[in-house]
Amino acid sequence: MRSPDEFILPEDRLRRRLVNEAKFYKLKSFLEVLTEPERKIEEAAERERQMKAALFPDDTLLTIEQMQKLNEFYGKANQMWALIYKATRDGFDGPTFHRLCDNQGATIVIIRSSGGYLFGGYAAQSWNSAGSYINAINSFLFLLTNANGSQPTKFPYNNNGHALHGNNAYGPTFGGGHDLHICNNSNTINGSYCNISHSYTNPLGLGSATFTGARNFQTTEIEVFKLSE
């Protein structure tokens, strides 16, 4: 008779029957072998849930790999973030974004377009509603998924003094041009746009099509996280 270590797992239907038999006859060792795949899947899923809850609690947009990539872009693998704005919960209007996100210190903005693409930016200083540019050194834009199937990409700030634009009538807006502009009520208006390369370096060379495949787009979700202690 084979030991449990030598047992070769059968296909799923037969394995389910054997699990029932092993339970009935109280064959503990074989039961552990037969149920190992499910246990491993459940354990992996639980580890992912715990990691997501630790890094970006309450996020609904990102996979664990995307969370890790954003922290890689930021420069700290285990950085934790706190959700301060979620457009589907709080509203897509500019005044609400600024009411919740101004004067919060450094933040990361995650945008999902109507095409399902994920991108955004890191604001290295607080947002404000002064109607002027903010020279926030170390800011960057990022791409996680786009229409061209590009790999996740970081777009560094070129330090031209126009990292962010604080305007109460707008959602989060990066760069002088603007490189990435989110308009008021961006979920209903095709007025948000990408015009990258004014203040942020674009290694992909896709111009205004970088994020969604077109210059203008609508959003279906925006999440903003601040640094968590």
Same-domain check for residues 125 and 17: no
| Mean per-residue pLDDT of the chain | 88
In this structure, the answer to whether residues 219 and 182 fall within a common structural domain is yes
Domain membership flag for residue 95: yes
Q: Do 65 and 41 share a structural domain?
A: no
Residues 21 and 87 in one domain: no
**Which strand ranges, in their side-by-side order, compose the sheet holding 192-194?**
132-134, 164-166, 173-174, 180-181, 192-194, 216-217
Domain of residue 170, residue span:
60-227
- Summarised one tens digit per residue, pLDDT across range 70-97 is 999 999 999 999 999 999 999 999 999 9
**What is the number of domains present in the chain?**
2
Supply the pTM of this predicted model. 0.80
**Single-letter residue type at 23:** K
Q: Confirm whether 181 is domain-assigned.
A: yes
The residues with which 165 forms a beta bridge, in sequence order, are: 133
Is there a contact between 114 and 218 (Cβ–Cβ < 8 Å)?
yes
Do 15 and 117 belong to one domain?
Answer: no
| Percent of the residues in the chain that have a pLDDT greater than 90, as a whole number | 76
pLDDT in tens, 214-224: 999 999 999 99
Residues 26 and 96 in one domain: no
Q: Same domain, yes or no, for 21 and 134?
A: no
30 and 106 share a domain? no
